[in-house]
A = this chain, B = another copy of it.
Amino acid sequence: MGKKEAKQSFVLKTPKGTKDWEGLDMVIRDKIFSTITQVFKRHGAVTIDTPVFELKDILAGKYGEDSKLIYDLADQGGEICSLRYDLTVPFARWLAQNSSVQSIKRYHIAKVYRRDQPAMSKGRMREFYQCDFDIAGVYDPMIPDAEILRITSEIFEALGWGGNYTIKINHRKILDGIFQVCGVPQDKIRMISSAVDKLDKSPWDVVRKEMTEEKGLDGEIADKIGEYVKLKGTRDVLDKLNSIEALQANESAKQGLADMTLLFSYLETFGVLDNISLDMSLARGLDYYTGVIYEVVTEGSAPPAASNVEGQKVQETGRKEKKEKKPAEDDDDRSNDPTIGVGSVAAGGRYDELVGMFSGKGQIPCVGISFGVDRIFSITKARMESEKAQQLRRTEVDAYVMAFGGKGFTGLLPERMEVAKSLWDADIKAEFLWKVKPKLPAQFKAAEQSGIPYGIILGEDELKAGKVSIKEMGLPEGHPEKNGVLVDKANLIPEMKQRLKQYEEKLASQLSGVSI
C-alpha cells in the first residue's frame, strides 16, 4: 500500500443508499435474525448461500421494467454479471441447476441490491436485507401452505408481537373466479386484480375509478366486484363464499374455495386461525402467484409510501407507486417515524410455475414467504424506545474485572489477567481495562457504558485473604450489596455462574411480552 497514494483526500462515506450497521442497531438486527432463524430451523429448514452476483442473463427478463434498477458489474473482461435483485431468482436458478433436488425447505437471509432512488427516512435503501423462506416440492394440497403460515405466526409470536399482527390471506383462484363471475373479460383479469391490490392504501371509490375510467371496466361489473372485495373475516367469510352458487359453479372459484376450506382446517389444527383474516381485497401484484397469497400487517402499519424494504412486494407495487404517486401519499414523506409508511411486514404465496421458467423442464411447485426484516427492525426499534424496555446491551459481556488500591497500587495486571483467563476458560464473557495501572472510575465507566451486569473487583488486601468482590452493577444506593459481595477467589466461577443464571432468568421474565 503506497502511503503517498493513500494520503490523497476522499469523501469518507458509504455509497448512496447504503449504510454501516453498528452499535445497538446491529444488536437488535442480529436478535431479529436469530429469532427468525430459530423458527425456520424448528421446522427443518436449511439455508443456501448463493453468490452476491449472478450472470446477467439469469436476471434478465425477470423484473419487467424494474430491470433498469439492476446493478451491473463493470465489463472488465469475461462474464457479464449483476448484483442480485432479490433472493427468489437465485433460488429458482439453484433449483433448476440442481435437478436432483426435488424438494427442499430453504431459508435465506441476505442483502439484495436495487439502483432505486433511496429514501433513508422511509427505509428505502439500495442495499437492504431480504429474508425468504420457501418450500419446493410435490406434496398434498395445502399442507406446506399451512406450515408456512404456522411458521409466520411462530415468528411474530417469538418477536413478541403476539396479538399485534394479522395475516391477511386470499387465493388467486378464488379471486379469478370472482372476477369471472362478476363478468370481467379474461384479458382484463390481471389488470383488475392489480387495481384491487391497491385497496390497502386507497379507498374503494378511487380504485373503482381506476377500474372504470382507466381500465375501461363496465361500472356494474366494478360494483359487483366492490361487494366481494369488502368481505373480510374468518370462517364466516369462507362460509359465505362457499354458499354462493355462482362461485361454486365457477371452476376456478370452486377449486380455490376447496383449497381454502382445507387450509382453514389445517390452520385450526396448527392453532393459528386467531391471527388469520380471509380478505378478498388482498390481490398481490406479482404475476407468478398461482394459489394462496398472504400478507402480514401489524398495528401502526400505514399505507406504504415505498415498498422496497418488504421483499418481493417491490416487484408488484414499489415502482407503480413511484410513478402513480398521489398527492395524499406524499404526506408520508414528511415523516421520519419509521412506523409511518410501513405497510406489510411479510408477504408471499404459492408459485407453482416459476422454477419451470428456469429449468425449461419440469415444474417444481413452490410456496414461500418473504419477511421485510428492515421494516420489522424499524418497528421493533421504535417499540423498544417507546416501551422503555430493558436496555439491550451493546455487548454480551458478563463481567468486568477491575482492581483498586491505595498508595503504591501496582495495578494488579497479572492478577486481573489471571481472573479473566479463568472466566474465559469457563465460557464466561469477560473484559478488563488494558492498562497497567487503571483508575477505578475509568474501569467502572467502561463496565457501565457496555451495560455489563457484574464487576469483579480485586484489591490487594482481599487477594491476600484469598477473596475477590462481586459487585452487581447499577444497584440503588442503600442496597445491602451495593458495595459488592466478598467471595472466595477459588469459588469465583461457581459464584458467577449462579449469579449469571439468576440474571438471565430475571432478564427473560422482564423481556417476556416485550418486542424482542
Answer yes or no: A203 CB below 8 A from chain B CBs.
Answer: no
CB-CB under 8 A from A394, the residues of chain B are: 46
Q: Are B46's CB and A26's CB within 8 A? A: yes
Answer yes or no: A266 CB below 8 A from chain B CBs.
Answer: yes
Interface residue tally for chain A (C-beta within 8 Å):
108
Stretch in contact with the other chain, from A177-185, A417-425, A472-480, A492-500: A417-425
**Cα-based distance from A197 to B13 in the complex (angstroms):** 36
Q: Which listed residue (B8, B79, B360) contacts A61, Cβ 8 A?
A: B8
**Cα-based distance from A358 to B3 in the complex (angstroms):** 10
Q: Are A19's CB and B434's CB within 8 A? A: no
**Cα-based distance from A73 to B56 in the complex (angstroms):** 13
CB-CB under 8 A from A1, the residues of chain B are: 61-64, 286-288, 315, 354, 357
What 0/1 pattern do residues 1 to 14 of A give for CB contact below 8 A with B?
11101111111111
Q: Count this chain's copies in the assembly.
A: 2
CB-CB under 8 A from A49, the residues of chain B are: 20-22, 26
CB-CB under 8 A from A421, the residues of chain B are: 150, 269-271
CB-CB under 8 A from A18, the residues of chain B are: 51, 53
CB-CB under 8 A from A140, the residues of chain B are: 434-436
Q: Which listed residue (B7, B96, B127) contacts A360, Cβ 8 A?
A: B7
Q: Are B26's CB and A48's CB within 8 A? A: yes
What 0/1 pattern do residues 217 to 243 of A give for CB contact below 8 A with B?
000000000000000000000000000
Q: A15-B79, A50-B14, A51-B15 are in contact. Are A44 and B450 (CB under 8 A)?
A: yes
**Cα-based distance from A30 to B47 in the complex (angstroms):** 10
**Cα-based distance from A58 to B11 in the complex (angstroms):** 8
Closest to A143 in B: B434
Q: Are B47's CB and A144's CB within 8 A? A: no
Q: A1-B62, A55-B11, A360-B9 are in contact. Are A431 and B43 (CB under 8 A)?
A: yes
**Cα-based distance from A150 to B74 in the complex (angstroms):** 42
In A402-441, the 8 Å CB interface with B consists of 413-414, 417-418, 421, 424-425, 427-431, 434-436
CB-CB under 8 A from A489, the residues of chain B are: none
Q: Are A13's CB and B270's CB within 8 A? A: no
Q: Are B14's CB and A54's CB within 8 A? A: yes
Q: Are B13's CB and A97's CB within 8 A? A: yes
Question: Measuring CB to CB, which residues of chain A are less than 8 angstroms from any residue of chain B?
Answer: 1-3, 5-16, 18-23, 26-27, 30, 41-55, 57-58, 60-64, 71-76, 78-79, 81, 83, 93-94, 96-98, 111, 113, 115, 127, 137, 139-140, 143-144, 146-147, 150, 154, 265-266, 269-271, 286-288, 315, 354, 357-360, 394-397, 413-414, 417-418, 421, 424-425, 427-431, 434-436, 450
- Not counting A22-B94, A22-B98, A27-B46, a sample of 16 additional A-B residue pairs whose C-beta atoms are within 8 angstroms of each other reads A1-B288, A1-B315, A2-B64, A5-B62, A10-B55, A10-B60, A15-B55, A22-B46, A43-B430, A44-B430, A45-B395, A46-B394, A71-B73, A71-B76, A146-B417, A266-B417
Q: Give the 3 A-B CB pairs with smallest separation, nearest first.
A: A5-B61, A139-B434, A18-B51
